[in-house]
Amino acid sequence: MVRKTGQLFHIDFGHILGNFKSKFKIKRERGPFILTYDFIHVIQQGKSGNTEEFNRFRQCCQDAYLILRRNGNLIITLFALMLTAGLPELSSVKDIQYVKDSLALGKTEDEALKQFKQKFDEALKESWTTKVNWMAHTMRKDYKS
C-alpha cells in the first residue's frame, strides 16, 4: 500500500503468523521477512554502500521490534482472542506460537535484539530469493492478463 504521503506501507498477516508461501512443496519465501534490494535502493535514495539512511532504517526496525516485544503479552492475548475469527492465517495456537517465538518473549531484551539483528541480516542475504519469487509472481500475473 502507498499512503497519500507516498510512504510504502504493507502488513502481510501471513508472514507475521509464520505462513510462508510454497509452490510444488518448494519454499518460495526463504527469508524471515521481505527486505528486497529494491526496498534498500529506495531507502538509500539510490546511493550505494552502507548509507546513513539505511542505518537509520535499520535502527527504526530495531526500535519497532523492541516496542512490539515490550507489548508482546498484549499482542499474544489479542491474537488468542481472534482464533475463532476464521482468518486462514490464524487458525491454531501454532500460529500464535510463531509470534511468541519471533518476539523472543522467553529471552532477555539483549538476547532478543541479537536474534532480531541476525534475522535482519538473514533477510538481507536472502533478498535475491525474494526478488526471484516476486519476479516469477509478477510474470505469472502479467501472463494471465
pLDDT in single tens digits along all 145 residues of the chain: 677 887 776 665 556 666 666 566 665 555 677 787 888 888 898 888 889 999 999 999 999 999 999 999 999 999 999 999 888 888 889 888 988 999 999 999 999 999 999 999 988 887 555 555 555 555 555 555 5
Cell 530495531 locates to: 62
pLDDT of residue 71: 97
Domains and CATH numbers, the chain: 31-140 (1.10.1070.11)
Cα–Cα distance, 36 to 41 (Å, whole number): 9
Task: Evaluate if pTM is beyond 0.75.
Answer: no
Sign of the alpha-carbon torsion through 21, 24, 28, 32: positive
Q: Tell me which residue of 141, 118, 125, 117 sits closest to 37, measured CA to CA.
A: 125
pLDDT of residue 143: 55
Type of residue at 118: Q
Between helices 93-102 and 72-81, what is the axis angle to 10°?
A: 170
Contact 79, 65 (CB under 8 A): no
